[in-house]
Amino acid sequence: MNNSTPIYVGIDGGGSKCSAMLFNAQGVVLSQGVAGSANAARDFSKTLRSVVESVQLALINAGYGTDHMRHLQVGAGLAGACVPSVNAQLKAWQHPFANFNVTSDLVTACYGAHAGKDGALLIVGTGSSAARMQNHKLKQFGGHGFILGDKGSGAWFGRAAVTSTLEALDGLIPLSDLHGMVLNKLNINGSADLVQTMINASPSQFTAFAPDIIELAQLNELTALNLVKEGAAYLDKLCLRTLHGTSLSLVLMGGLAPSIEPWFSPVLRERIIKAQAGPEWGAMRLLQTPQLMAC
């Protein structure tokens, strides 16, 4: 690496993985490196390891030695990075790079999705949250995590299906195909086993039920249909709130986005466009305007 040629890194880190991309000064992708989870609010030290490892892999994939880390300009969007106490820890990090700016993964995803222009975003995967970027200022709606929020997310769908299955096993509601799917997938048949299997399950373990729930709803299975309608109605309202009073377009991201989109209202669907660029690009570009990296 010629140290006079600036190399930029954009990082997108979330609950499932951390992706780092190397860009040249013209914004052309040179390489990518992918490491483990990077939710800074859930596991801070693991997040720092994933960030460094993803950058090391990107350097190797571009043919550079990992000792070049200290010359890199790094911008990162990490899940949980805007939780105040976490943000303070991230700012205090003795990072191995030339420069390290960090904000929430929602900021960098929104900035990337609209190629640096104003726009709105809904992420619906393991979690759910929306945001809009206007005059380079981001405002977030929803989110709040598995315990307190994230309605309409994969984890929310999965937990709701398990809770409904327990109510059916209690005889409070009729046993339905949705409940049969939950029990079959785990290969168990009683309440006590179901509780023991899922009581400490992670959000992504709950999310594993989501594709089947949406498929059953598409087949008009009533219990699944009611869940999907409730989750989609919340997300629809969340997106309309995010877009309210603007003429912004909306990008959908996350593993559940394609299957939940058909359940949205026509008025929302006509605002949806495809993403212009990825979150790594957004992180790289925001790095160059660090005043925009605020939470």
Which residues are near a copy of itself by CB under 8 A? 41, 82-85, 141-142, 144-145, 147-149, 159, 162-163, 166-167, 170-172, 191-193, 195-196, 198-199, 234, 237-238, 241, 244
Q: How far is the CB of 255 from a copy of itself (least distance, A)?
A: 22
Q: How far is the CB of 112 from a copy of itself (least distance, A)?
A: 23
Q: Which is nearer to a copy of itself, 34 or 188 (CB)?
A: 188
Q: Which is nearer to a copy of itself, 99 or 205 (CB)?
A: 205
Q: Which residues contact 63 (CB under 8 A, 6 or more apart)?
A: none
Q: How far is the CB of 86 from a copy of itself (least distance, A)?
A: 9
Q: Which is nearer to a copy of itself, 167 or 261 (CB)?
A: 167
First CA to last CA distance, the chain: 33
Q: Which is nearer to a copy of itself, 150 or 221 (CB)?
A: 150
Q: How far is the CB of 13 from a copy of itself (least distance, A)?
A: 19
Count helices and strands in the chain by DSSP H and E runs: 13, 10
Nearest-angstrom CA–CA distance, 9 and 1:
14
Q: How far is the CB of 10 from a copy of itself (least distance, A)?
A: 25
Contact present, 242 and 272 (Cβ < 8 Å): no
| The two three-digit tokens of residue 30, written as one number | 């040179």
Q: Which is nearer to a copy of itself, 33 or 142 (CB)?
A: 142
SS (H, E, C) 33-93: EEECCCECCCCHHHHHHHHHHHHHHHHHHCCCCHHHHHHCEEEEEEECCCCHHHHHHHHHC
